[in-house]
Structure 1
Amino acid sequence: MNKELIINAAPTGVEIALLEDKKLVELHNEKADANFAVGDLYLGKVKKLIPGLNAAFVDVGFEKDAFLHYTDLSPYARSILKFTQLAMADKDPNGFDFSKFQIEPEIIKTGKINEVLNGKPHILVQILKEPIAAKGPRLSCEISLPGRFVVVTPFNDIVAVSKKIHSSDERKRLQKIVEAIKPKNFGVIVRTAAEGKNTAELHEDLRTLIDTWKNIQHNLKGAQPPAKVLSEQDKTTSILRDLLNEDFNRVVINDKNIYNDTRSYVQKIAPHKADIVVFHNNGSAVFDQYGITKQVKSSFGKTVNLPSGAYLIIEHTEALHVIDVNSGYKSVSNNQEENALETNLEAAEEIARQLRLRDIGGIIVVDFIDMKLPENKKKLQEAMEGFMRPDRAKHAVLPISKFGLMQITRQRMRPEVTINTTETCPSCGGSGKVAPTMLLEDEIEKRLHYLVSHQHKNLTLVVHPIVYSHLTKGIFSIRFKWRRKYKMPIKIKSSSDYYFTEFHFYDANEEEIKL
């Protein structure tokens, strides 16, 4: 698989596009003034205890109080409360020695929130989910500091190794190395990327994270809630940390600072692939040059068209997302069941991509085209699970119900990516909206290809005068290219009665061809 990362830096923030085989599958947007990102640490003040929910509302500086449930408190909640108070009152310029910190007994899983947070204390919390819609941030007290090879979890001494490392010998080796180098009162989770790494590399990563914890301890000194104690690395760095590996073929960046940081980072993890990092400075917009702008325009919005002519309707409600699959004009056979299966499989692949691309979370209900055979329903479910396997967010796919609906749940960490893909209609002066004009040529050729493949001859295309000029301009015009490609003459006529994006095909008898 050809994997590319395109990074577009602008004054307002950084946009990051992940391409797989030239197809856009993830789009991340980091605003320059973004607050309350996942992983940020805050000193919060408990404002209200809600025994009925077994939760608390905590002031971290957002317009709405953040939510902290008992299950997100961490077994070491009492140790965190004690550490917070000690760090805030600490007078030592170098800070107290965390390795000598006395860990408090763990809280019980079935306990009550008012037993732990009685007195509404100040507490160190981490953003678990960003503010979404009308909800404030979701918090956790299970503090974790992620690095490239390891994740540090203070207040325990547990060492765990990723289950994705299948070799038992390698797991044992990594366990022994980490147990030998980790300081007291720090738990360590060894990530999959650590496989095959030596002691020096693991120790350097661990030392960086321990320094980060010392920085947190220093920032708590004399702080008054609500206050940001430590910001997660910017999204560009964190995505590179989580995504970038030897599978990538190219990383294109239009900012010199990010380019230098990324190149040095790649030299660390894969020295022989440092040349995949490319600096883009030829004057053109990097997203335009790599076709990302066009893909964004065609992929976002209520309707998503598929190559076969089928299309998806994606609707968002407060409770869930609903996706409706509609068949197009393509037929693989005269068998209705086979046609439904083919269309559903094509739709399933696009739905899996859309969930990643838009970062859709929560409950998703998909209304596929009805199929009668149980084996086809099972094929579709297995295909959907396969298409969603590369998705880093936690998810679950349920079998198709007797009503023909598939239910999917996907972890929601950040607000859904929404991009307005309509533009002002030049024909009606802005009173209506139309599909993006940059896709019109593709739409016409898609329809032309279908007609030619179904033995239609002597075609006449009628379009708006401006579109006519675009299609016929120059010796090697688009009309000329179509003529060579499909080996048949194609007449193009203009009509000022048409609105800008309207077009129709006519046969030799000047009768409109309707699909």
Structure 2
Amino acid sequence: MSNELVINSTAKGGRIALLRDKRIVEYHIEESENQFTVGDIYLGTVRKISPGSNAAFVDIGHEKDAFLHYQDLGPNFSSLHKLTQDVIAKRINGTRLNGVQLEAEIDKFGKISQVLTKNAPILVQVVKEPISTKGPRLSCELSLAGRYIVLVPFSNSVNISKKITNKQERQRLARLLNSIKPQNFGIIVRTVAESKEVAELDRDLQNLMEKWENGMKLLREAKPREKIIGEMNRASSMLRDMLNESFDSITVDDKDAYEDIRSYIHTIAPDKEKIVKLYSGKNKIFEQFGIEKQLKSIFGRSVSLPGGGYLIIEHTEAMHVIDVNSGSRSNTEADQEATAVNTNIEAVKEIARQLRVRDMGGIISIDFIDMKKAENKRLIYEKMKEEMQSDRSKFTILPLTKFGVMQITRQRVRPELHISTGETCPTCGGTGKVGPTILLTDQIESNLEYIITRQNEKHIILTVHPYLHAYFTNGLPSRRMKWFFRYKTWIKIVKDSSLGITEYKFVNKFGDEIEIIP
């Protein structure tokens, strides 16, 4: 099983696709203007106390005030709040917590009005990004995630991931981390730390401590709404959480992003540095890896299954509903039960993939094809648990009901991903009026001549649909070759399947679209 990460840099940020055996299993769009990433720590200001919901609304710079519930303050909130006030007032100079006397833990069933007041400064961490009309969700139980460990200020415990089951290994890790952890810092040991040497764990710990110390220095002069400690970008956080021996390649099409990722890989896993590659092909990187075509096929309302069945995926405000249909498969099996089981197994694999790719959260209700036998229902339940094992989000799966419906709850910390797979009619451009499309190639050639002779542009790149690309480049001599003889300049033609068949654009060597000035 191969794992590849493909990163496409855009003007607004970047697109990230995780491929498993060449198929998309995760897809993320990272926008540079998105300031409120899960893991970011801000200096906020309490704007409103809501006794009815036992929560506070905190201003961290988003258009909607962020939500902070009493249960998310954490038992050591008093220690954090006191430290925040002392650092802002410059009553303490140190950035570590050595010698700091921890305050008494707050009452687990207390009221938020007892510990917070309006306009008070507060150090908070984003645990859920803004979704729809809601602002970010916050917590005061701060944590800094590293490659092997998670650092938790104002705690003194060492907790080991439950996925590390070997008793001797758990004891070894607990003994090592207890010996190197700083005072008043707790540690959560991640699954990937299994069998790692103390030097690697210590290096990860020191990197996190440096991050904390830099944040405390910034806090001394910080203004309200200012980010104190920032989480790394989406690509780096995916690598931190997922990079392992099964990763085959990381391909990036931007030199700066390539250098950043290579530097980060060198820090967390030097032996993996060679798998980072800078893409320099002629086609767009997502086009080259077949990602654009996959995106068109997996984000629609209807999703096809390999054996002829299909899924219908509906999204509502409260939940997601997925209907499994046998489609053309109903005539290929020996009996109805066999058809149902085989189609449902195919559906399970695709549904587990869809949940990750679309990052669907909340309640997901799946209506499988009816099966009579109880063992077949158990089989589908076990298959779903097996397929969901690699999902990084927290989830709960319930067995099928007697009506053949399965319910899944999946943690959602970011807005669900929507990609429009419908295209504007390439013939009318959405106007409802059909133009003389037979003249399209003449129009392109006319515009090309104008750009070269009147606007004196050089190094022109023409981006077109693959059909038009074939029309202009095939044959001897090709249309492009005739242009070369006529204009004494070579026109680079790039195919892009995301364009409609009648769409095209001219781009200069800097990647900027050329406007035709009449």
TM-score (norm 2): 0.80
Cross-structure match for 2:148: 149
Q: Secondary structure at the match of 2:56?
A: strand
Provide, for residues 439-460 of structure 1, a one-character-per-residue CA deviation record: whole Å limited to 9, x for no partner. xxxxxxxxxxxxxxxxxxxxxx
Cross-structure match for 1:340: 340
Cross-structure match for 2:32: 32
1:164 deviation in Å?
Answer: 1.8
Residue range with higher mean Cα deviation, 356-365 or 66-75: 66-75
Cross-structure match for 2:20: 20
Q: 1:35 to 1:268 in 2, by over 3 A?
A: closer
Structure 2: gaps (5+ residues): 433-466, 476-500, 502-518
The residue identity in structure 2 corresponding to 1:23 is: R
Contact (CA 8 Å) 1:84, 1:124: kept in 2 or not? yes
Q: State how far apart, in whole Å, the 2-side matches of 1:190 and 1:88 are.
A: 31
1:89 deviation in Å?
Answer: 0.7
Q: State how far apart, in whole Å, the 1-side matches of 2:203 and 2:96 are.
A: 20
Contact (CA 8 Å) 1:245, 1:269: kept in 2 or not? no
1:80 aligned onto 2:69: no
CA RMSD of aligned residues (A): 2.3
TM-score (norm 1): 0.81
Q: Secondary structure at the match of 1:322?
A: strand
Cross-structure match for 1:430: 430
Q: State how far apart, in whole Å, the 2-side matches of 1:278 and 1:97 are.
A: 38
Q: Secondary structure at the match of 1:156?
A: coil
Cross-structure match for 1:357: 357
1:213 deviation in Å?
Answer: 1.1
Contact (CA 8 Å) 2:96, 2:213: kept in 1 or not? no
Q: State how far apart, in whole Å, the 2-side matches of 1:319 and 1:71 are.
A: 24
Q: State how far apart, in whole Å, the 2-side matches of 1:64 and 1:148 are.
A: 33
Provide, for residues 396-415 of structure 1, a one-character-per-residue CA deviation record: whole Å limited to 9, x for no partner. 11111233221110000100
Residue range with higher mean Cα deviation, 196-205 or 260-269: 260-269
Q: State how far apart, in whole Å, the 1-side matches of 2:190 and 2:28 are.
A: 23
1:108 aligned onto 2:107: yes
Q: State how far apart, in whole Å, the 2-side matches of 1:272 and 1:206 are.
A: 19
Q: State how far apart, in whole Å, the 1-side matches of 2:234 and 2:342 are.
A: 38
The residue identity in structure 1 corresponding to 2:4 is: E
Cross-structure match for 1:212: 211
1:10 deviation in Å?
Answer: 2.1
Cross-structure match for 1:167: 166
Q: Secondary structure at the match of 1:296?
A: helix
1:273 deviation in Å?
Answer: 4.3
Q: How does 1:209-358 map to 2 (within 5 A)?
A: 209-267=208-266, 271-330=270-329, 331-358=331-358
Q: State how far apart, in whole Å, the 2-side matches of 1:386 and 1:14 are.
A: 31
Q: State how far apart, in whole Å, the 2-side matches of 1:224 and 1:180 are.
A: 37
Q: State how far apart, in whole Å, the 2-side matches of 1:18 and 1:11 are.
A: 21
Q: Secondary structure at the match of 1:381?
A: helix
The residue identity in structure 1 corresponding to 2:34 is: A
The residue identity in structure 2 corresponding to 1:65 is: D
1:177 aligned onto 2:176: yes
The residue identity in structure 1 corresponding to 2:278 is: F
Contact (CA 8 Å) 2:151, 2:187: kept in 1 or not? yes
The residue identity in structure 2 corresponding to 1:87 is: V
Q: State how far apart, in whole Å, the 1-side matches of 2:429 and 2:191 are.
A: 55
Structure 1: gaps (5+ residues): 433-465, 475-499, 501-515
The residue identity in structure 2 corresponding to 1:369 is: I
1:95 deviation in Å?
Answer: 4.0
Provide, for residues 64-123 of structure 1, a one-character-per-residue CA deviation record: whole Å limited to 9, x for no partner. 11111111111101111111101111166x546531222101112222222222455221
The residue identity in structure 2 corresponding to 1:199 is: V
1:301 deviation in Å?
Answer: 1.9
1:317 deviation in Å?
Answer: 1.0
Q: Secondary structure at the match of 1:99?
A: coil
Contact (CA 8 Å) 1:397, 1:409: kept in 2 or not? yes
Q: How does 1:421-500 map to 2 (within 5 A)?
A: 421-430=421-430
Q: 1:237 to 1:418 in 2, by over 3 A?
A: same
1:267 deviation in Å?
Answer: 4.7
Cross-structure match for 1:366: 366
Q: 1:220 to 1:274 in 2, by over 3 A?
A: closer
Q: Secondary structure at the match of 1:318?
A: coil
Cross-structure match for 1:135: 134
Q: Secondary structure at the match of 2:67?
A: strand
The residue identity in structure 2 corresponding to 1:12 is: K
Q: Secondary structure at the match of 1:333?
A: coil
1:276 deviation in Å?
Answer: 2.3
Q: State how far apart, in whole Å, the 1-side matches of 2:188 and 2:35 are.
A: 27
Q: 1:267 to 1:67 in 2, by over 3 A?
A: closer
1:388 aligned onto 2:398: no
The residue identity in structure 2 corresponding to 1:277 is: V
Question: How many aligned positions are there?
Answer: 439
Cross-structure match for 2:507: none
1:62 deviation in Å?
Answer: 0.9
Q: State how far apart, in whole Å, the 2-side matches of 1:265 and 1:256 are.
A: 14
Provide, for residues 458-489 of structure 1, a one-character-per-residue CA deviation record: whole Å limited to 9, x for no partner. xxxxxxxx99x99xx99xxxxxxxxxxxxxxx
Cross-structure match for 1:412: 412
1:24 deviation in Å?
Answer: 0.4
Q: 1:29 to 1:209 in 2, by over 3 A?
A: same
Q: 1:424 to 1:139 in 2, by over 3 A?
A: same
1:225 deviation in Å?
Answer: 2.0
Cross-structure match for 1:493: none
Q: Secondary structure at the match of 1:343?
A: helix
Q: State how far apart, in whole Å, the 2-side matches of 1:263 and 1:337 are.
A: 52
The residue identity in structure 2 corresponding to 1:315 is: E
Contact (CA 8 Å) 1:90, 1:96: kept in 2 or not? no
Contact (CA 8 Å) 2:348, 2:383: kept in 1 or not? yes
1:363 deviation in Å?
Answer: 0.5
Q: Secondary structure at the match of 1:221?
A: helix
Q: State how far apart, in whole Å, the 2-side matches of 1:339 and 1:197 are.
A: 47
Cross-structure match for 2:459: none
Q: 1:269 to 1:145 in 2, by over 3 A?
A: closer
Identity of aligned residues (%): 53
Q: Secondary structure at the match of 1:100?
A: coil
Residue range with higher mean Cα deviation, 419-428 or 316-325: 419-428
Q: State how far apart, in whole Å, the 2-side matches of 1:284 and 1:205 are.
A: 38
The residue identity in structure 2 corresponding to 1:257 is: D
Cross-structure match for 1:462: none
Contact (CA 8 Å) 1:332, 1:338: kept in 2 or not? no
Provide, for residues 410-434 of structure 1, a one-character-per-residue CA deviation record: whole Å limited to 9, x for no partner. 00010011111111123454258xx
Provide, for residues 250-284 of structure 1, a one-character-per-residue CA deviation record: whole Å limited to 9, x for no partner. 21111223323433444555555443222211232
Q: Secondary structure at the match of 1:143?
A: coil
Q: State how far apart, in whole Å, the 2-side matches of 1:273 and 1:140 are.
A: 34
